[in-house]
């Protein structure tokens, strides 16, 4: 969760409506403000003999859309990640595949997004994006090349504009159904047909981009089977995440690029046009050196989840959830869920200076509020207030805590029934909230990708024990290094671990 400056403004809007916490707790996705140092790379046509760049003409509409959406993309994915060594590694890969692409004259603007989400995508006008989460998961240059070449395929095939036009046609159908057709059954059939057409069109584009991507990396001399290999790895990572934590609802690569077995098979068939497995360069060691030391998970400005604890060194606060809860730090809030269905959202509250906490709770942003339940108390020396609400089949326990004149935070617990666990979890979590000492805040360090060399006698378990700050380290170690169950370690191999 970033510092609350961006989403505090949203509070004014939320006060106008009802609590919709089933969706809000599980699907938070807001635009953020702030980013790290901006340093993006642009790749395009070669220089002329006179040294002047000769960029090809760019469609004005595509350029306008890309330029308009770029700041929004950067903001919604936590800003831009800057790392000289990583950028040089990426530049080497991108330059090589641009030269081998269907249109080497196309210029691209590559941005590394500062988010642990595994994702890559393209905008019209040659805007390409890859997250540091995806770069941490990849194990060699050929895998990264496969992803970026896939996104370049969307650009060269003009998929974004085609999809926009198709979506516009579907929207027109929807309006016709809503405004013109009186036959409800006919209207539903028309809507379903347009939606199926759009879905099939999108899937067709993904397969086309897959084919372009495999062909491009093969021409560039990379392992053409890297696309299928990395699709399979992303599927395993998604399974690891969904099995052990609250799922981050920010879109990821597999959400928009479904890695079905048929699609992996398609990528393998495309790669076989170049030959049998084992051909092409993977460039593993040089790539791993490029990501050594890269940030993993949340950065300091977003706060850290450590087991059942959340610490935000920048804001100087922390709290713990009860046993059984699983924490997840998303872009705009900290979320958690428990086995009994209880869900938690922790974020910032926007109060006018001098507003009493009970008055804030009663100000209209809580639908179904039981005003008689509002009470004031203190938490570790901090002013606090709490209340109960019930609306639209949900029961809520709400607490707000003031840390300073311009810093107030809220906890919102929700369950479909007023279970004993709901009240107990709310009480335990709220009572654990506290200010961090300067020494505690300074001692909190982000996690990073680190390299280890396999020595004789090392095992998956022994190396996984060197990881910290992550859930189920053995499972994550296997996924990060693309190790199948039972696969032996080879002395001398370089592998990734996660540590602070």
Strands (E), 87-133: 108-113, 120-123, 127-131
Which residue in 332, 297, 303 sits closest to 317, CA to CA?
303
pTM: 0.73
**Residue-range domain boundaries for the chain:** 37-296, 304-442, 447-499
For position 57, what pLDDT does the model report? 52
Q: What is the mean pLDDT of residues 456-470?
A: 94
* Residue 436 dihedral angles phi and psi, to the nearest 5°: -85, 145
Residue 298 clears pLDDT 70, i.e. is over it:
yes
Distance CA 238, CA 137 (A): 11
Return d(Cα 488, Cα 461) in angstroms, integer.
12
pLDDT tens, position by position, 20-54 = 333 333 222 211 122 222 335 555 543 322 333 34
Confidence grade of residue 465 (pLDDT, cut at 50, 70, 90): very high
- Single out the residue of 241, 246, 257 nearest to residue 119, CA to CA: 257
pLDDT of residue 77: 85
Q: Which CATH class is domain 304-442?
A: alpha beta
* DSSP string over 275-337: -STT-SB--HHHHHHHHTT-EES--GGG-EEETTEEEETTTTEEEEPPTT-EEEE-SS-EEEE
Q: Which CATH number fits domain 447-499: 3.10.350.10, 3.40.50.2300, 3.90.1070.10, 2.60.40.10?
A: 3.10.350.10
Using only the alpha carbons of the chain, give its radius of gyration: 25
- Looking at residue 140, what DSSP letter applies? S
- 100 or 102: whose pLDDT is higher? 100
496 pLDDT higher than 60: yes
Helix intervals (H) in 138-183:
141-156, 159-179
pLDDT band at 13 (very low <50, low <70, confident <90, very high): very low
For the beta sheet containing 120-123, the strands, ordered from the edge strand earlier in sequence to the opposite edge, are 41-43, 108-113, 127-131, 120-123
Q: What separation in angstroms does the CA of 260 have from each of 118, 121, 195, 443?
A: 17, 18, 20, 43
């Amino acid at each position: 969760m970033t510092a609350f400056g961006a989403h505090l403004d949203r509070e004014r809007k939320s006060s106008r409506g009802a609590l919709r916490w089933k969706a809000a707790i599980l699907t938070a996705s807001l635009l953020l403000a702030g980013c790290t140092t901006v340093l993006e790379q642009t790749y395009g046509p070669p220089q002329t003999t006179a040294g002047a760049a000769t960029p090809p003409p760019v469609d004005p509409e595509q350029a306008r859309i890309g330029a308009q959406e770029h700041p929004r993309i950067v903001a919604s994915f936590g800003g831009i990640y800057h790392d000289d060594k990583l950028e040089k590694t990426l530049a080497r890969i991108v330059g090589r595949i641009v030269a081998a692409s269907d249109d080497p004259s196309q210029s691209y603007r590559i941005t590394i997004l500062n988010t642990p989400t595994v994702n890559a995508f393209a905008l019209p006008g040659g805007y390409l994006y890859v997250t540091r989460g995806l770069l941490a998961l990849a194990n060699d240059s050929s895998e990264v090349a496969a992803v970026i070449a896939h996104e370049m395929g969307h650009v060269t095939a003009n998929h974004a504009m085609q999809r926009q036009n198709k979506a516009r046609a579907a929207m027109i159908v929807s309006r016709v159904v809503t405004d013109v057709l009186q036959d409800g059954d006919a209207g539903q059939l028309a809507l379903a047909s347009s939606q199926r057409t759009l879905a099939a069109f999108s899937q067709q584009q993904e397969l086309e981009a897959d084919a372009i991507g495999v062909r491009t990396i093969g021409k560039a001399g990379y392992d053409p089977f890297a696309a299928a290999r990395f699709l399979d790895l992303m599927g395993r990572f998604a399974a690891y995440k969904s099995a052990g934590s609250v799922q981050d609802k920010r879109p990821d690569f597999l959400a928009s690029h479904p890695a079905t077995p048929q699609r992996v098979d398609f990528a393998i068939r495309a790669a076989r046009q170049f030959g049998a497995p084992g051909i092409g360069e993977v460039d593993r060691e040089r790539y791993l050196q490029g990501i050594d030391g890269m940030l993993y998970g949340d950065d300091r400005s977003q706060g850290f989840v450590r087991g059942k604890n959340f610490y935000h060194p920048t804001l100087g606060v922390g709290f713990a959830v009860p046993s059984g809860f699983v924490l997840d730090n998303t872009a705009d809030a900290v979320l958690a869920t428990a086995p009994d269905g209880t869900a938690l959202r922790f974020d910032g509250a926007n109060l006018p200076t001098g507003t009493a906490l009970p008055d804030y709770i009663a100000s209209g942003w809580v639908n179904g509020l039981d005003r008689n339940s509002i009470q004031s108390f203190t938490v570790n020396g901090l002013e606090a207030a709490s209340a109960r609400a019930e609306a639209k089949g949900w029961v809520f326990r709400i607490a707000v805590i003031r840390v300073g004149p311009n810093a107030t935070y809220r906890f919102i617990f929700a369950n479909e029934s007023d279970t004993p666990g709901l009240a107990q979890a709310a009480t335990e979590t709220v009572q654990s909230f506290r200010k961090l000492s300067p020494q505690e805040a300074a001692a909190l360090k982000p996690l990073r990708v680190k390299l280890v060399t396999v020595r004789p006698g090392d095992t998956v378990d022994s190396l996984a024990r060197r990881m910290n700050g992550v859930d189920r380290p053995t499972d994550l170690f296997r996924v990060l290094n693309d190790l199948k169950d039972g696969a032996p370690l080879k002395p001398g191999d370089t592998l990734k671990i996660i540590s602070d």
